A and B are shown apart, each in its own frame.
Chain A
Amino acid sequence: MYKIILPLRYLVNRRISLLAVSAVALSVFIASVVLTVMHGLVGDFKEKNHLFVGDCVVSTPSLVGFAYYELFVEQLEAMPQVAAVSAVVKSYGLFTMGDRHSGGVQIVGIDPIRHGRATGFAAGIHYHAGDLASLFEPGYDPNLPGCVFGIDRIFLKDDDGAYQYDPCVPHFGFDITCFPLTAKGALRGLGSVSSKRFYLSDVSWSGLARVDDHYVYLPRAEAQTLCGMGGRDKRINAIHVKFSEGVTPEEGTERVRDLWTDYRENRSGASLAYLMDTVTVSDWKRYRRASIAGMEKEETAMIILFVLVGITTVFIVFVVFYMIVTHKVKDIGILKSMGASSLDVMALFGGFACLVGLCGAALGLLGGWQFLRRVNALEDWLHEKWDFQVWDRSMFAIGDIPHDIEPSVMGAIGISAIFACLFGALLPTWQAARLRPIETLQANQI
């Protein structure tokens, strides 16, 4: 019983222990706020990447692409694990608009309905929302060949990060120019450059800066013609796959990989089979790892920094416990003389450390939760009053400050705080356990 009563008494009566609780609470508060925001940003970025590519991608890094994809797409669609499939052409090109605007673009040839089903593409379309069948028909003249540009090429953002859309799709014409490549990867003769004028039919938003600034979507057949991938053995560069409900990307990707291995073996005798040598099957995380890894590293670096900062909290707990043990030698001596073992004394101070950690973590997490609930309102107020934003929304593709409480993050921080307290209290607790009653209860000390 005394193992419960004494820690509570120490916590209430020894005001110095409240300092340890406060230090823990402050560290937990800051860590919970910063890591929740960071975790939210990373999670949001990952989700955007996931939506952008679907669950799994069968792709080749070569711009030449690979052939014989039609039958493989049919086989994929027949799989119970697969919900949707989209074959895509990817290449580089140039766009020019009059003599003022020109630039390099990533050309993506798609079937809009299929691509909308396999990825999150449909959700980012503005003027043809819910009507992907007519995506490449410009509203001002449906007979013109249409194209969809990444939104950052067409519209500007305001201070709040909202795009300033025109009421109708702007009447812009773009000359899209590509290198047509033969199946062997050679250029189809110097000067053989494909070029065609397309008219803006819509804009696409993915929330990924490079995509929204560099991508132009064309009808797949048009892209294949421009890139020299049409003809008898049509070629593509990637197949995006979405799995059915309940199928994890890892499981589904494994099945698709098996199917692709069999398919490739069956086609090994075909004239363009060599193009399949560079094809890989990846789940979305692996496919986009170059983009995602940076954010994950920054999150890791932030955690490491907070671990370093947390060392101070461990020191505070150590000093507070050292003081308490120094002042409570008589209590310890009496307890031991009444039969309490060294382990009991350790349990007593260990429990006290847990209590300090628990109270500090609870207070810090509560404060963090309340702060996160109001963080966007606070930022709005700061923006209105002082023109301060945490991120300039016209520069960064970030909406609200992430504030959703992630139980795993909060739990990890809380548990870390308790362990930090136990660690900080370890040495004083050990010293307390080693005290001998005869030394602590000597009359000349009274």
Chain B
Amino acid sequence: MLKLLLCSRYLRRRKVVYLSVAALALSVALLIVVSSLFTGFIAACEQSAVDVLGDVLISCPVKFTHHERLIEQLEASDQVQAATAVMLTQGLLHLGKGNVRAVQIFGIEPERFQKVIHFRESLRGTGGLASLMSPQDSTMRGFVSIGVVTEPNELTDEYDYARAREALGLRVSLTTGSLRRPDTQAADRGPVRPRRASFQFTVADVIRSGHFFFDRESVFLPLDRLCRKLDPSAAGTYVQRVQIKLSPTAERASAIEEIESIWQAFGESIQLGYNIQLTDVITAVEMQARYVGEIRKQMGMLMVIFGIVDVGVIALIFCIFYMIVRLKQRDIGIIRSCGGSAGAVAAIFLGFGAVVGLVGALLGVLLGYLFTANINRIEAWVAKAFGLNLWSSSLYVFEKIPNTMDWGSAGFIGLAAIAAASVGVLIPALLAARTRPVEVLRYE
């Protein structure tokens, strides 16, 4: 009881203790914000990969036909919820006078694609991806990503939606580079001949995924019509990628194994030869692994740097407690003379240090949470007040700063703060414990 009473008294009366609480809270908040921002960014990278690619990808180095059969086989598996084939190519999009953009063309099966891919926001969105379909004899319809028709504002990072809406119904011209009809059955594929195709399509909708690079240069066209435009002599459609959404109960490793075996059997059936082995069957998250690894490394280094600097907090707590012990010599003497053991005296100061650590850590976590949760508002305010745009999607991929609190790191940092406070208070506590009443209570 005495220990608690003294702890709370020192905490209330010795205002200098608030300094150590403030320093601790500041350090904890800083580390939590850094950790949360990095962790949020990494999570956003991985989630955006899943959003725009699905859970698993089969990426073949050559284009192949009969993909409907592969999709059927995949969807027959319990591990797979949905799968869709995608044809990828590069192109140049002519949007108007002198306005030419290099674009990534996605040939998609709208209904299936919709089951695998999750776009965060489509501007109209009433018909979903199915509105891409149009009668065969009419002009082809296509979707363009928002960055193709409008740039994000330099200061606010917001797209000009009015301008994006103006693009709806616009008839644009697209040209793609050389393509060769795949003939996987033929042993001798003959010399490679470049092929080129130019055609028009109507912008049916504008898509925004929230991923800058995806939003910057994507064009979506119906797979069947795109293939016919690219190679009118081709019998069917051909693709080089299959995007898969796993079922919620799927176990990742076994799902990959099963997908690989389905792919192996399919590849053999259409005689893909060595391209079967050259094909990547990989999760969208694994595709990001190298980049994410580098970000984690940068985060680790930043945490170590700030962690080293925060050693200063231990020094600060040491100073403050040393001062308190020196000023409270008489209190200590009285406790000792009333029968308090050296351990009890040390426990008072260690407990006091732990309370300071706890209060500082809690305040730091609260501060860190408030800052992290409101970081987009703070950034918007800074941009408005000082004209300084700290975050831009062109630089950091995402339109919004990830603002999810990393509670795991916060807990660890909070505990580390309490431990640091206890370390800082250790020597003053020992000094207090060694105090002899006869020395401090004598009156000359």
Stretch at the interface among B46-54, B97-105, B258-266: B97-105
Contacts of B392 in A (CB 8 A): 294
Contact with A along B15-40 (1 / 0, CB 8 A): 01001101100110010001000000
Q: Which of A106, A191, A297, A305 contacts B198 (CB 8 A)?
A: A191
Q: Do the beta carbons of A92 and B92 come within 8 Å of each other?
A: yes
Q: Do the beta carbons of B309 and A309 come within 8 Å of each other?
A: yes
B441 contacts A by Cβ under 8 Å? no
A297 to chain B, nearest CB (A): 6
Contacts of A94 in B (CB 8 A): 90-92, 102, 175-177
Q: Do the beta carbons of A177 and B177 come within 8 Å of each other?
A: yes
Contacts of A294 in B (CB 8 A): 392, 395
Q: Do the beta carbons of B308 and A30 come within 8 Å of each other?
A: yes
A91 contacts B by Cβ under 8 Å? yes
B contact residues, range: 35 or more
Q: Do the beta carbons of A319 and B26 come within 8 Å of each other?
A: no
Q: Do the beta carbons of B394 and A187 come within 8 Å of each other?
A: no
Q: Do the beta carbons of A26 and B180 come within 8 Å of each other?
A: no
A26 to B297, CA, bound (A): 23
Given contacts A30-B305, A190-B173, contact A195 B196 (CB under 8 A): yes
Contacts of A100 in B (CB 8 A): 61-62
A322 to chain B, nearest CB (A): 7
Given contacts A30-B305, A316-B316, A320-B319, contact A99 B92 (CB under 8 A): no
Q: Which of B102, B196, B309, B311 contacts A193 (CB 8 A)?
A: B196
Contact with A along B399-436 (1 / 0, CB 8 A): 00000000000000000000000000000000000000
Q: Do the beta carbons of B100 and A92 come within 8 Å of each other?
A: yes
B91, B192, B312: most-surrounded residue (chain A CB, <10 A) = B312
Q: Do the beta carbons of B192 and A290 come within 8 Å of each other?
A: no
Q: Do the beta carbons of A185 and B101 come within 8 Å of each other?
A: no
Contacts of A392 in B (CB 8 A): 290, 294
Q: Do the beta carbons of B178 and A62 come within 8 Å of each other?
A: no
A320 to B62, CA, bound (A): 71
Contacts of B248 in A (CB 8 A): none
Q: Do the beta carbons of B26 and A318 come within 8 Å of each other?
A: no
Stretch at the interface among A16-24, A116-124, A152-160, A346-354: A16-24
B109 contacts A by Cβ under 8 Å? no
Contacts of A186 in B (CB 8 A): 97
Contact with A along B281-324 (1 / 0, CB 8 A): 00000000011001001000100011011111101101110110
B124 to chain A, nearest CB (A): 27
User: Which residue in chain B gives the minimum CB-CB distance to A105?
Assistant: B102
Given contacts A308-B30, A309-B306, A395-B294, contact A96 B177 (CB under 8 A): yes
8 Å CB contacts to A: which residues of B98-128? 98-104
B98, B196, B217: most-surrounded residue (chain A CB, <10 A) = B98
A197 to B178, CA, bound (A): 11
Given contacts A91-B100, A96-B194, A187-B94, contact A391 B312 (CB under 8 A): no
Interface majority SS (helix, strand, loop, mixed), chain A? mixed
A179 contacts B by Cβ under 8 Å? yes
8 Å CB contacts to B: which residues of A1-58? 16, 19, 22-23, 26-27, 30, 34
B184 contacts A by Cβ under 8 Å? no
Q: Do the beta carbons of B316 and A395 come within 8 Å of each other?
A: no
Q: Do the beta carbons of A313 and B30 come within 8 Å of each other?
A: no
A3 to B381, CA, bound (A): 47
Q: Do the beta carbons of B310 and A104 come within 8 Å of each other?
A: no
Q: Which of B192, B217, B294 contacts A99 (CB 8 A)?
A: B192
Contacts of B20 in A (CB 8 A): 315
B309 to chain A, nearest CB (A): 5
Contacts of B305 in A (CB 8 A): 30, 34
A386 to chain B, nearest CB (A): 12
Q: Do the beta carbons of B196 and A92 come within 8 Å of each other?
A: no
Q: Do the beta carbons of A99 and B30 come within 8 Å of each other?
A: no
A102 contacts B by Cβ under 8 Å? yes
Contacts of B390 in A (CB 8 A): 297, 301
8 Å CB contacts to B: which residues of A286-304? 290, 294, 297, 301
Give the interface of B toward A (CB within 8 A): 16, 19-20, 22-23, 26-27, 30, 34, 61-62, 89-92, 94, 96-104, 173, 175-180, 182, 192, 194, 196, 198-200, 217, 290-291, 294, 297, 301, 305-306, 308-313, 315-316, 318-320, 322-323, 326-327, 388, 390, 392, 394-395
Contacts A305-B34, A323-B322 known; 6 new A-B pairs at CB < 8 A: A99-B180, A179-B175, A185-B97, A195-B196, A305-B306, A308-B26
Give the interface of A toward B (CB within 8 A): 16, 19, 22-23, 26-27, 30, 34, 62-64, 91-96, 98-100, 102-106, 175, 177-179, 181, 184-187, 190-191, 193, 195, 197, 290, 294, 297, 301, 305-306, 308-309, 311-313, 315-316, 318-320, 322-323, 326, 390-392, 395-396
Q: List 9 A-B contacts (CB under 8 A).
A: A26-B311, A63-B99, A92-B100, A94-B92, A177-B175, A177-B196, A185-B96, A191-B198, A395-B290
